[in-house]
Amino acid sequence: MTSIKIIGFKIVLLIGFFVLANFVYKHTLFEKDIQAYSPVIDLVRTVVKDGAEIIYLGESSNNTIRSDDQDKRSISEMISAYYPSKKFGHITKEASHAGIFFDLLQNIPDSSAVKTVIVTLNLRSFDAGWIFSDLETPLQQSMVLLKPYPPLFNRFLLAFKAYDIKTNEERERQFKTAWKNETLVFPEPFKYKNTDQWNKGIAYSGIKNPDGSWNTPMTELACHYVKTYAFQINTETNPRIKDFDRITALAKKRNWNLVFNLLAENVDKADSLVGKELIYLINQNRNVLVSRYQSMNVLVVDNLEKVGDAEFIDRSWTTEHYAEKGRKIVARSVAKALKQIYPSDYSDTISQQQVRDEFFSDCETPIDWGQMNTLTSSNSFSGKFSSLTGQNHDFSLTFEQSLENLPETMNKVEIEFQVFQTNLNHDAKLVIELRGQRIAFSWNGFKLNELSRKEKVWDKVNYQFLLPDNYVKAEIIKVYLFNPTSTSILIDDLRVKFKP
């Protein structure tokens, strides 16, 4: 009896310890760990803090652009332009999928303003190649601290690697096994039984040029298409189905409107390279997803075949990265579908004709300005990052925009930014550059140490520049700091505003 009492006392002591330790950890080191290992949570916090009513969850398809795009907005920004009266937010994390989206959505508090959630439904993400991708381990790791358990328990799970952790070799073996073992079923007899055979068949027979010679890049691309799309979703076993089901259940519980944005795939290319059997599988999978989630009252926007081959950015790989027109098609399609939820807030004219006259980068959000490689976390005015120049980094974060849509009356550019100069003994310049086929190249540099005379502190610089008369003919305006010296200069919170 005594020993039972002793053991009981020790158990109580342990429980007390864990409660206390959890309290201490939560209020001391947890946030630091979150920032180190799960920084994606900041995206969720931002949408909640901003009071977003509609949030868009996507992977790189949301914000990947092509270098010649005039309109560099992401899909979510384009959708938001159709609903000017609604507060929009986005959570974009590269290579993520429904499992990650679910974990992130769970972190949105009940008290938030979120009413509608748009989630990208990426067909490729149902394939074994993505399910067992080598990116999965870091992705799963980044989600552990965000689980809805006590912080100390989450840290325990992280410490003991209690998540789907596998080496790249193990992952490769997993998807190769799936490609071999999952038999493909067609309405008519087909010579390949599974993805592995099909892939090898194409690799051996090859794609030929008109003159009969072997076209290696096209053969490789055809193989990619087979490996990416040659699968049949088993709703009983496919982990993505389970993840989307969990998202659906969560949305129901939270009373959110749920929209699945079935992303466009390059069906034209799949057809021309591989043929009708692959299209059969793509359509079959599409039908499975659309009918499944429509029956669960999810608004499914089917964009699968809406974007043409020319709008796909990656030419030697299968992705959902669209150029400007492609993003606009997807955005418009989603925006139109949202009319079912917000019939009176939809505004087509504004979104199409709205002219942006103000641009801003705090060096934090992944908007695509030039020279993003200069971002550093060593020192910043706001947030974590700023842009570092000097010591072989000649150009700072660069604003680059087409001037074609600006009315002629807007001929002033107001440039505002924070600067941190380690010393004033340098020759760095604030540069406004205008270029285009119809005007002479115009390069205007202004000495930075005359615009700001403070060193080793952050100082606000405000400068107005009058555009030359022929500026509307310029195709591109660029604003940046040019610093070919060895002096380190940081800039942050760069704002460019066009004014009449």
Partner 1 sequence: MFFIPQYILILFVTILIDYVAAIYIEKSDQSRKKKYLIISIVATCLVLIIFKYLDFFNQNMIQLSHLLGFYYPEKVIKVVLPIGLSFHTFQSLSYVIEVYRGHQKAERNFGIYSLYVMFYPQLVTGPIERPQNLLVQLKEEKKLDYSNLSNGLRLILYGLFVKMVIADNLASYVDQIYANPKEYGTLSILTGLFFYSFQIYCDFLGYSTIAVGCAKSMGYNLMDNFKNPYFSKGIGEFWQRWHISLSSWFRDYVYFSLGGNKVKIQRWMINILIVFALSGFWHGANWTFIIWGLAHGFIYIMESLSDRYLPRIKELKNSWVNLLYITKTFILVSFIWILFRASSIYQVKTLLASLLKNIHLQDKFYVDPKVWIFLGIFILSDYVLFNTRFDKWCSVQKSYARWSVYFILIFMIIVFSSINNFPFIYFQF
Residues that bind partner 1 (CB under 8 A): 3, 13, 17, 21, 24-25, 29, 37, 141, 152, 155-156, 158-159, 161, 165, 169
Tokens of 287: 């039908």
Nearest to 101 by CA among 132, 63, 138, 55: 55
Shortest Å distance, C-beta 354 to partner 1: 45
Least distance in Å: CB of 441 to partner 1?
A: 40
The nearer residue to partner 1, 21 or 367, going by C-beta atoms, is 21
Query: Which lies closer to partner 1 via its Cβ, residue 26 or residue 87?
Result: 26
| Beta carbon of residue 100, minimum distance to partner 1 (angstroms, whole number) | 17
Measured in degrees and rounded to the nearest 5, phi and psi for residue 436 equal: 175, 165
Which residues pair with residue 110 across a beta bridge? none
CA distances in angstroms from 52 to 44, 48, 351, listed in the order given: 10, 6, 18
Length of the chain: 500
Q: Quick one: CA dihedral 487, 493, 498, 499, positive or negative?
A: negative
Assess contact for 305 and 111: CB atoms under 8 A.
no
Beta bridge partners of 489: 389, 421
Q: Which lies closer to partner 1 via its Cβ, residue 147 or residue 240?
A: 147
Considering the complex, state which of residue 180 and residue 252 has its C-beta at the smaller distance from partner 1: 180
Q: How far is the CB of 28 from partner 1 (least distance, A)?
A: 9
Closest approach of partner 1 to the CB of residue 79, in Å: 36
Judged by beta carbon, residue 32 or residue 438, the one nearer partner 1 is 32
Element (H, E) at 458: strand 458-466
**Contacts of 323 by beta carbon, 8 Å cutoff, 6+ apart:** 65, 66, 68, 69, 310, 311, 312, 313
Whole-angstrom Cα distance, residue 313 to residue 488? 36
**At 207, which helix (H) or strand (E)?**
none
Cβ-based nearer residue to partner 1, 19 or 350:
19
| Minimum CB distance to partner 1 smaller for 165 or for 350 | 165
Residue 199 CB, nearest approach to partner 1 (Å) = 24
- Rounded to 5 degrees, what angle do the CA atoms 378, 379, 383 make? 110
Instruction: Centre a 10 Å sphere on the Cβ of residue 223 and count the other Cβ atoms it contains.
Output: 20
Minimum Å distance from CB 154 to partner 1? 10
Smallest separation (angstroms) from partner 1 to the CB of 128: 20
Tell me whether residue 72 or residue 155 sits nearer to partner 1 (CB atom). Answer: 155
User: With respect to partner 1, which residue has the nearer C-beta, 4 or 457?
Assistant: 4
Q: Which is nearer to partner 1, 75 or 145 (CB)?
A: 145
Quickly count helices (H) and strands (E) in the chain: 17, 15
Q: For the CB of residue 483, give the shortest distance to partner 1 in the complex, in Å.
A: 21
Smallest distance, Å, CB 36 to partner 1? 8
Residue with tokens 């700091």: 481
Find the shortest distance in angstroms from Cβ 188 to partner 1. 39
What is the DSSP annotation of 214-268?
B-HHHHHHHHHHHHHH-----TTT-HHHHHHHHHHHHHHHHT-EEEEEE----HH
Residue corresponding to tokens 């947890």? 30
User: Considering beta carbons, is residue 37 or 130 the nearer one to partner 1?
Assistant: 37
Q: Which lies closer to partner 1 via its Cβ, residue 156 or residue 359?
A: 156
Nearer to partner 1, 169 or 469 (CB): 169
Cβ neighbour number for residue 237 with a 10 Å cutoff: 9
CB of 482 to partner 1, least distance (A): 26
How far are the Cα atoms of 50, 237, 243, 327 from residue 116, in angstroms, in the given order?
A: 15, 28, 18, 20
Collapse the DSSP code of 138 into the 3-class scheme (helix H, G, I; strand E, B; otherwise coil) and give the result. helix
Instruction: Kindly state the smallest distance separating residue 156's Cβ from partner 1, in Å.
Output: 5
Q: What are phi and psi of 460, to 5 degrees?
A: -85, 135
2: left (phi over 0), alpha (psi -120 to 50) or beta: alpha
* 38, amino acid identity: S
